[in-house]
Amino acid sequence: MLTPAEADAAIAAHLVRAPDQTVPLPAGAGRVLRQEVRADRDAPPFDRVAMDGIAIASAAFRHGRREFRVAAVQPAGAPPFKLASETDCIEVMTGASLPDGCDAVVPVERIRMDGDVATLEAGHVPAPWMHVHRRASDARVGDLLLPAGTRLGGPEIAIAASAGLALLTVAQAPRIAVISTGDELIEPGLPVLDHQVRRSNSYGLGAALRLAGFPPITDLHLPDQRPVQEAALADALARHDVLVLSGGVSAGRFDHVPGALAALGVRRVFHQVSQRPGQPLWFGIGNSGTTVFALPGNPVSVLVCLSRYVIPALLAAAGVRISARRNVALAQAFEFRSPLSCFLPVALEYDQGGNTLAVAKPTRGSGDFISLAGTDGFVELPRGPALHPAGLAVPFYAW
């Protein structure tokens, strides 16, 4: 049986890199950049006025001048005026190009206006380049602004826009199918009998995938019948890059998923990981390269396995530059009695020193997903049995 780290390595060794795709800039949100974004001009591209007020030559102040005649008004979006005389100023707006001959902006709050004469507030010293966002102070033309592999959030989309890009090359979104199995499962909204449960995993998996930037394109439910599963999985393998199955991978009489996948030529890379929850995790690769994660059906197991293995694999296939995983400190000692790695649901708290503490929120087994409400994710505790001490630094996985 593989350890979680060995399972990571086995998955990584079989990942298929997603191809490139060009999309309109707004559609880049949440995607993974496959090109470099470089500055096509300096940032800012001109000496940018940073406050509403007046622009002056600061030398005039040093020469003793406190009153300035307003010679012109310089709005944002207009080419810069030229200051004709040191005794003058130009009224300027935030975002305007600093008028030629000026080197400082005095904010409107620091002046008094009498007709067209602005008088500086006593004690205000306009030093050179005060309230001027200088040309190229943030980036020079040609500078690398975003490397390939960047996840595109709000700031990155703004940077790409500022570099003039209307189209972006990103990793193509994988076609993902979420496939649940089980004769006991009933769709939310439909009548349910006492011996049945609601089909909740698929909705949890779909939500988590969507929030991670990988919306599934298919949601399929299969009964615990081998021929039906084989036919449906053959079709799903042909139409998707990734299958995320839940249920039917354990040792029960009606757990047909591994057999059905094998019969369809999906090569098993591993089955079983020394972890709790999620020990029966199955991973394989289809004939035509489809990546297949078959997760054990217990609702805590599916969510843990998705965050622990599936989403990191999807990010890696997209080419994300992965930053080091965040470690958090166990808030209290936690005893785990099995010779397995333990994924322990936690709520995060912050101590006075700004350290992130993980407060254990153990579930009553892998079927108890009700206890997950209000948790932030889970930590990975090293292989037990062990009494893991308070303060132990452990990797954290968000839901």
Binding mask 359-388 for ligand AMP (x = CB under 6 A): --------x---------------------
Half-sphere exposure of 290 (CA within 13 A, CB side): 26
Minimum Å gap between C-beta 202 and ligand AMP is 5
Size of the site for Mg ion (CB under 5 A): 4
- Residues in CB range of 358: below 8 A, 6 or more apart: 328, 329, 330, 331, 344, 346, 347, 348, 379, 394, 396
Q: From CA 176, how far away is CA 194, in angstroms rounded?
A: 32
Residue 28's nearest CA partner among 266, 213, 250 is 213
Instruction: Work out which of 58, 162, 172, 201 binds ligand AMP, going by CB under 6 A.
Output: 201
Helices then strands, counting H and E runs in the chain, come out as 8, 28
- Residue 216 lies near Mg ion (rule: CB under 5 A): no
182 binds Mg ion (CB under 5 A): yes
Residue 206 touches which of ligand AMP, Mg ion, none (Cβ within 5-8 Å per kind): none
Question: Which one of ligand AMP, Mg ion, none is in contact with 299 (Cβ closer than 5 to 8 A by kind)?
Answer: ligand AMP
Judged by CB under 5 A, the residue of 80, 204, 206, 247 near Mg ion is: 247
Q: Is 296 in the site for ligand AMP (CB under 6 A)?
A: yes
Quick note: the x/- pattern for ligand AMP over 236-275, rule CB under 6 A, is: ----------xxx-x-x-----------------------
In the bound state with ligand AMP, the residue whose beta carbon lies nearer, of 192 and 347, is: 192
DSSP-based three-state secondary structure for 349: strand
Q: How far is the CB of 176 from Mg ion (least distance, A)?
A: 21
213 vs 247, beta carbon nearer Mg ion: 247
Of the residues 297, 312, 319, 377, which one makes contact with ligand AMP according to CB under 6 A: 297
The residue sitting closest to ligand AMP, measured at its beta carbon, is 297
Q: Which of 118, 109, 130 is nearest to 88 (CA)?
A: 118
User: In terms of DSSP H, where are the helices of 212-357?
Assistant: 226-239, 257-263, 299-305, 311-318
369 — phi, psi (to 5°)? -90, -10
- Measured between alpha carbons, how far is 344 from 352 in angstroms, rounded to an integer? 24
Separation between Cα atoms, residue 194 and residue 202, nearest integer Å = 21
List interacting residues with ligand AMP (CB under 6 A).
180, 182, 184-185, 197, 199-202, 246-248, 250, 252, 296-299, 367
